[in-house]
Chain A
């Protein structure tokens, strides 16, 4: 279980509040991929098809979108909106240490 309850809210260990545990799990996987590949950058489609390597997430595009929104809100992942309406996601390299610490604490708890 990645989330811990605080004042009636689900608070994620890897991003801001994520209500759904599977969304948290996806957020964890995205961050893990980015720590292993700090130069990686892609759109939602690429993240679903190639980063998460999980058949389940292929059918949960909306959950991946939600997880990315949380990670962006927590400033752990940066988004760039292009003029043609696409959005690219990459790691916030200034938060690399914080991300690594969060990932470690989650994996210890697992």
Chain B
């Protein structure tokens, strides 16, 4: 149970576990013009012994009544700092704790946030990084409306549909990521929901009432990118009759979502990097430096390491953006979610079009299940929407589902590569089909294939087929089919 206590809004407590005096002095220099800072050395200096006890922590916080606590931790005292943070969260959850560490490993930072840290900072400390985050936490503390947060979360997160472990593992990070103000790099194939996740981070964060500005860097002509992002003054170029603020300025106080970041021209990347580092920029044709307080979330469907190697993406920008990575799986990797998502989109579009469609026919389910979904969730939604529009029946049938023809890749690959691909495709489809038929029973599927169980298992392993998810889908489909058929039969008998 959290202890209630009075706080002094301008007091900050710095608990130092082994960081150098120089770092503490820098932090003090940054904070002192605005806050009253009390620094306590929580580390004795010999071995890994922490000088103060739990009792001391409680006493210290009760005595100083800080509005915020900084936990400064040396790399070798991480465990002790974690214990201290856990203790603080238990007894003083109302006071935001900012962790200050030497390392910048993204997993480590996520671990801090999961433990309950409100945000984190890494070295070197700069006023431009520290102060906005401190102000943000303070403001958030004053304005937080947990009820609104819950309602918003319920509404917006409804769009993030899925039950596969791979998907849930990434999605579960979102509320934690939303608590801090660090840059995020979302990777994933086209149509995997990168913008949905970026928006969820924004609306679950303290920036929720501020602008969310999504920009597709790949869709802006390269000679207009700089103008679009940073704006221009009147007369900056022929046709610039009025001053126009850039999207960075529009996003002030909120979040700028830069999709397809690897498509940003190199010159604009330099300007963006400067903006990320200094929070300032210069509009085209302007002599004045402008500032904007913006959280940047970037996304890409390319392999960033490759983009860096080929010179498409600046290494320094990549490191600056990739503070917290979020990797969204493709729909192929979360096959068990296909039917769940199909059902979600069916309800959504049937309601929009005011159509009474109860579900999918068994053949439609098979068609959806065995498709590879190169365009991922977006492609699935479009196909379901089209099927809803075309269907005049109480269920979506296989004929209503128009899947895109695969582009013939044989024109650009060797005979052997082409043969291998076709054989692999056949094996995957064949094995999945038998597993679905046998409700995930491997021995039964092997018997139907007239192969021995061991060889059949090797094929399952080779193609990374999740038998567990197939079992779930098989029972789900059977249940859906029987329920839907029941509905259709009932409807038909009513119309007779």
Write the residues of chain A forming the contact surface with B, with a CB cutoff of 8 angstroms.
36-37, 39-43, 45-46, 49-50, 52-55, 58-62, 80, 82-86, 88, 90
Contacts and interface: CB of A to CB of B under 8 A. Distances in A.
B290 interface: no
Contacts of A58: 155, 158-159, 348
Interface of B: 151-152, 155-156, 158-159, 195-196, 199, 203, 208-216, 219-221, 224, 228, 247, 250-251, 253-254, 347-349, 351-352
B155 A88 contact: no
A36 B209 CA distance: 8
Contact of A49 (B159, B208, B349): B159
Contacts of A61: 352
B239 to A, nearest CB: 14
B155 A50 contact: yes
B210 A39 contact: yes
Contact of B250 (A36, A46, A55, A80): A80
B212 A59 contact: no
Contacts of B211: 39-42, 88, 90
Nearest to B218: A84
A59 B352 contact: yes
A84 B258 CA distance: 12
A39 B152 CA distance: 17
A98 B159 CA distance: 34
A88 B250 contact: yes
A86 B351 CA distance: 25
B155 A54 contact: yes
Given A37-B208, A40-B209, A80-B250, 15 more contacts: A40-B210, A42-B213, A43-B214, A50-B199, A53-B155, A54-B155, A55-B155, A58-B159, A60-B351, A82-B215, A83-B228, A84-B219, A84-B220, A86-B214, A88-B213
A46 B250 CA distance: 16
Contacts of A86: 214-216
A49 B215 contact: no
A82 B159 contact: no
B352 A60 contact: yes
26 contacts: A36-B209, A37-B208, A37-B209, A37-B210, A41-B250, A42-B199, A42-B211, A42-B212, A43-B214, A45-B195, A45-B199, A49-B199, A50-B155, A50-B199, A54-B155, A58-B155, A59-B347, A59-B348, A60-B351, A62-B352, A80-B250, A82-B215, A83-B221, A84-B215, A86-B214, A88-B213
Given A41-B254, A45-B195, A83-B228, A50 B219 contact: no
Residue in B155, B209, B216, B254 whose Cβ sees the most chain A Cβ within 10 Å: B155
Nearest to A84: B219
Contacts, number: 83
Contact of A59 (B219, B221, B247, B351): B351
Nearest to A49: B156
A2 B238 CA distance: 47
B247 A82 contact: yes
Contacts of A83: 219-221, 224, 228
B272 to A, nearest CB: 16
Contacts of A59: 347-349, 351-352
Contacts of A43: 214
Contacts of B352: 59-62
Contacts of B216: 84, 86
A2 B209 CA distance: 26
A46 B203 CA distance: 9
Nearest to B195: A45
Contacts of B210: 37, 39-41
Top 4 nearest A-B pairs by Cβ distance? A41-B211, A84-B219, A59-B351, A37-B209
A50 B203 contact: yes
A93 to B, nearest CB: 13
A55 B216 CA distance: 27
